[in-house]
Amino acid sequence: MHILPIKIYYEDTDAQGVVYYANYLKFFERARTEFLREIGYKQKELMEKGAIFVVREVSVEFKKPASLDQQIEVHTQIIKAGKVSFDFNQEALTKEGNLLCGGVIKCGCLALKDFKPKALPSKLYQGMKSLL
C-alpha cells in the first residue's frame, strides 16, 4: 500500500473551518500520481506519449473533517488492473489512523488526441498487476 503524507493549509479549508469536500479528491489524485511515480511512471511522460489517465467514477464517503495545520495520510491501494481501466481504494486518515474519508476511484486510460480508450503501456499494466 502506498502512503502519502499531506499537510492541511488555508487553501484546503473553507468557511466551515475544515477541509472543503472536493479537496480530498485533489489529495487522492496527488497520491495516485505518486503511486504511479513509484512504479516508474510520470503522468507527464505518459502525456507526451499521448496517453492520459482520467477518473471514470468516484464513490467516496466523508466521515470526519480534517482541519487547518493537521497532518494527514492518504493510503492508496490498487484493487483492479485491466487493459484500459484500473481501480483504486483510497482513504484519507489522521496520523493516529482514524478514517477521514475514503472510497473507490475508478480510472481509465485515454488517448490524448481524441479522449478514446487506449491500452495502458504494458509495463505499467504489469507493474499494476504485480501490486494487486
Residues labelled as active-site residues: 14
Rounded to whole angstroms, the Cα distance separating 132 from 118 reads 21
Q: Which is nearer to a second copy, 117 or 129 (CB)?
A: 117
Q: Kindly tell me which of 26 and 129 has the beta carbon lying closer to a second copy.
A: 26
- Residue 84 contacts residue 76 (beta carbons within 8 Å): no
Q: Which of 3, 5, 6, 26 binds a second copy (CB under 8 A)?
A: 26
In DSSP notation, 35-61 reads HHHHTT--HHHHHHTTEEEEEEEEEEE
Q: Given the rule CB under 8 A, which residues bind a second copy?
A: 7, 9-11, 13-18, 20-23, 25-26, 29-30, 33, 42-45, 47, 52, 54-62, 64-65, 67-69, 112, 115
